[in-house]
Amino acid sequence: MNGLKLAANYLRIGIMNEFQYRANLYIQILQTFIALGTGLIGLSLVFDQVDQLGGWGKADLLAVMGVFTIMGGVIRAAIQPNMERLMDEIREGTLDYALTKPADSQLLVSVREFRLWTLVDIVVGVIVLLVALSQLNWRVDAWSVLGFLSSLVMGALMTYCFWLIITSTAFWFIRVNEIANLFEGLYAAGRWPVTIYPNWLRYGLTFLVPVAFAVTVPASALTGRLTLQTWLGALALTATLFVVARMIWRTGLKNYSGASA
């Protein structure tokens, strides 16, 4: 399988690159803990006032925060850096270098960057999640683990597709960097279960920006809230988004006329 080998090679280069800047690891650790600290302060302020929020108890919300941190780590390690590089290259015309390589262009532009140190987020997220589960007296149960892992993978895939769609619009609109900023803002909504938002916002966070599927659904799987219906819905939406993203990428590519590189 050539694609896998290609991705593995880029991953190796990415990791070697990161090892040149080891001090960044400490900065990342600090950033992760500041984000976690402010998140926990927010949670504790809410739970100073109430025992539960929209049917989610303190430990449930801690689990949501764990998943939020994990998914944030995945996005910042593997998805966002690739898409930001792609945005710049489309604008500047240097995408030529990628397109002339004998590999599937979508695969290639999606695997070139990897930020190793943001994996700190994933480690810390897993710890938070484990603390939450122990507070919930959670017992290992194959179905919920399977539901969790599969919905986490689907959530990451949907987020990737969403980013690729947005990034591909750069073929028409050229300057789309602000959209990265927009996504970061909207993603922060995932810190809380989407069920607490008013309807119009909840639908937006489910279908327009797949924050619900990226964070709330995996957390639901672990806290016994995931239904088969939701899981199947996630599967269908992942497949649809994947096809749509690929179509938009291809159409956009035909529109690309970089000639400056």
* Site residues for other proteins per CB under 8 A: 23, 26-27, 30-31, 34, 37-38, 41-42, 45-46, 48-50, 53-54, 175, 177-179, 181-186, 188-189, 191-192, 196-198, 200-201
Shortest distance in whole angstroms from residue 46 CB to other proteins = 6
Three-class SS of residue 25? helix
Q: What number of CA atoms fall less than 13 Å from residue 10's CA on the CB side?
A: 16
Cβ proximity to other proteins: between 48 and 142 the closer is 48
The two tokens of residue 183 are 């996504």
Name the minimum Å distance from CB 77 to other proteins.
18
Residue 77 or 209: the one with the smaller Cβ distance to other proteins is 209
* CB environment 30-62: b (16+ within 10 A), e (fewer): eebeebbeebeeebeeeeeeeeebeebebbbbb
We find the least distance from the C-beta atom of residue 200 to other proteins, in angstroms, to be 8
Between residues 42 and 81, which has the closer beta carbon with respect to other proteins?
42
Closer of 14 and 190 to other proteins (Cβ): 190
- Is residue 108 within 8 A of residue 101, CB to CB? The reply is yes
Nearest to 210 by CA among 194, 192, 229: 194
Least distance (Å) between residue 242 CB and other proteins: 25
